[in-house]
Chains A and B, each alone.
Chain A
Amino acid sequence: MKYIDQEQVQNKMSSRLIKNNILKTLFALATMFGIVVLVILIVRVLTQGLAWIDMDFITGKLSTNADRAGIMGAILGTLWLMAVVIPVTLVLGVATAIYLELYAPKGKLQAIIQTNIANLAGVPSIVYGLLGLTVFVRAMEFGNVVLAGGLTLSLLVLPIVIVAAQEAIRAVPQHLSEASFGMGATKWQTVKNIVLPAALPGILTGAILALSRAIGETAPLTVIGIPALLIPFPEGIFDSFTVMPMQIYYWTIDSVLVEEYAYLAAATIIVLLLMLFILNSIAVIIRNKFQRRY
């Protein structure tokens, strides 16, 4: 005797299919919601800000006069910040990932470190700001310069880079490193010649995504005290600086005083989004170009 009664199955089939269709619609609506919000946001920003973007705005100095204000200082600040964040996170992040994945004895300690890294990724960014203020600005007496901001943001995104690098390293097929070990290669030789080249695309993708997170941050930088004053362009990592998100923040707050500031903020958002878009595209290109089959 059969357990599945064909007739009964067919009777219930239409109600099952209806249920399936309803859920399909719900899932589609949920997806649409996010997309619609995003489109509204972008349209609003573009209509407000696009008219304000021109060469003078990009290359100009900060000014209280909305017509003359430019964001070159903030762009340079963001670039200098990246110049600190990229090497620091790559070196620390990749080294940590290599250690945890390939060298650390698998045991309690490693599990504890791993959990902590995962937890660190969830710590609110303002807390990192406090850490940066205490350690880099005050204890190490850097002051509120690019270096202090960069190190603070590096700590903030380090967990992201570590986890991404770990995943990339783990995705390198074991049989490749076994082949290398089997020829008498040391761990480091294997890491350098086999594992890292294969993991590099994944690591870079993670690093770039972390970077775009870092350059969009405001909270930790407010805490370490980024000046909203008219300061000269930063020329190195020991200079005071401001960054685009901070500029957006201050202009938005002050738009109750000067209405045009809101448009300047929108224009800055466009530039920032463009920069993030470029970064993300680079990440995608790297991922596609170097994607290897094993």
Chain B
Amino acid sequence: MSLKTESKPSFTPIAQETFLDKKVVYDTKDLNLWYGDTHALKDINLSIYEKEVTAIIGPSGCGKSTYIKTLNRMVELVPTVRTTGTITYNGMSILDKKFRVEDLRTRVGMVFQKPNPFPKSIYDNVAYGPKIHGIRNKKILDEIVEKSLRGASIWDEVKDRLKENAYGLSGGQQQRLCIARCLAIEPDVILMDEPTSALDPKSTLRIEELVQELKKDYSIIIVTHNMQQAARISDRTAFFLNGEVIEFDQTDNIFTKPADSRTEDYISGRFG
């Protein structure tokens, strides 16, 4: 018997994983966030693990978007925002005013609720990220574009129309293009804020499959209103309510034996 298996019983399942296998990418400690006087996030403590899918669920207005936008500091685009507490990303304290958001955002990609391609060609959409980070070589750009489009499993659909405007694509294709655009900056983490809420069931399924594929290489944090989706694709789930994390556990546990009655109420559709 190895030391690892021997020590198993003394750990709770979560702790065992934390200490022995998984690396923490994002560690949130006592995070509070205000929009002006609105206290949107309250004492958030949350760890995001590497190469997992972490789902964030909760009723409308509970702070899900606010939280994931804090992870790449996009939330600061709202001028009234104020935060306390710390978030470390791979050990770096990212809420520090001295920490450069541009650095953070080149390693943490984001996919938005509504597909938001640029009014440019499919190629230029994907090449945008590499270009702004200084890659000019056409060959390399071609390679990144193809790799990213393949990664977002949309290559076959668009490979003959790379020069066409991205607005000619369907909503589902546009969203996968946005995922490709995000992969092109070669991030470690992908933040997704309800990426399928504007899509039909078939496109939704494709994105879900894609997420499963992507988690081999990326850590993914996904906000969703769709409980089945969270159950299907995530490894861990955080339940938010009124700006607080009510429960954070492995997805199986959240959906089969939630520790908090409010979680149970929510996942069984009793409110929200």
Q: Give A residues with C-beta under 8 Å from B.
A: 105-106, 173, 175-176, 178-186, 189, 193-194, 197-198, 292-294
Contacts and interface: CB of A to CB of B under 8 A. Distances in A.
Interface of B: 72, 74, 77, 79, 101-106, 109-110, 112, 114, 116-119, 128-129, 132-133, 167, 178, 181-182, 185
Nearest to A198: B119
Given A183-B109, A293-B167, A178 B77 contact: yes
A189 B106 CA distance: 14
Contacts, number: 63
A175 B116 contact: yes
Given A178-B74, A179-B118, A183-B106, 8 more contacts: A179-B178, A182-B110, A183-B109, A183-B185, A184-B101, A184-B103, A184-B129, A186-B102
A241 B106 CA distance: 55
A contacts with B: majority SS = helix
Given A105-B79, A189-B132, A293-B167, A181 B105 contact: yes
A292 to B, nearest CB: 5
A184 B133 CA distance: 8
Contacts of B117: 179
Nearest to B125: A179
B102 A106 contact: no
B118 A194 contact: yes
B180 to A, nearest CB: 12
Contacts of B101: 184
Given A184-B105, A193-B132, A175 B79 contact: no
A105 B77 CA distance: 11
A183 B182 contact: yes
Contacts of B79: 105-106
Given A183-B185, A184-B129, A184-B133, A176 B118 contact: yes
Contacts of A180: 118, 128, 132
16 contacts: A106-B79, A176-B118, A180-B132, A181-B74, A182-B72, A182-B105, A182-B182, A183-B185, A184-B101, A184-B105, A184-B132, A184-B133, A185-B102, A189-B132, A197-B119, A294-B119
